[in-house]
Amino acid sequence: MDSATTLFRCTVPWGRQEIELQELRFDAGGAPLLRLRIREAKRFTIFDIDAATAARWGEAMAEWGRGQLADGHGHAGAPAEAPHPEESGHAGA
């Protein structure tokens, strides 16, 4: 059976979009993918991306965030929610 493990989940302070990152693994093998799910009310946007794309995209976002925080434009919102094992698709995750 294919599996999805939740790695990260949060709600954006402005707009209230729900963001979830999941690792996808397939029984048939092959490289795992990273699934980005964004929920806005009843609408979902889903991207399944490879490791190289995730690394480049993640670094670009991290670089931008570090720059904003260094300039004093950070947000004092709630931290990202930790994934819950019972929601991750893996027992004991």
- Res 82: pLDDT: 46
CA 10 to chain CA mean position, Å: 8
Mind listing the pLDDT tens digit for each residue in 34-62? 999 999 999 999 999 999 999 999 999 99
**Facing residues of 46 across strands?**
37
Q: Where are the domains of the chain?
A: 3-73
Tokens of 9: 């989940």
Residue 86 pLDDT greater than 60, yes or no: no
Question: Are the CB atoms for 24 and 39 separated by under 8 Å?
Answer: no
Residue 34 CA to residue 44 CA, distance in Å, equals 16
- Res 10: pLDDT: 97
Q: Report residue 84's pLDDT band, with 50, 70 and 90 as the boundaries.
A: very low
Give the rounded percent of residues in the chain with a pLDDT score beyond 70.
78
Name the pairing type of β-strands 3-11 and 18-25.
antiparallel
Residue 88 pLDDT greater than 90, yes or no: no
Q: Report residue 74's pLDDT band, with 50, 70 and 90 as the boundaries.
A: confident
User: Which is nearest to 80 in space by CA: 5, 31, 20, 9?
Assistant: 9
User: Which is nearest to 41 in space by CA: 68, 65, 69, 11?
Assistant: 11
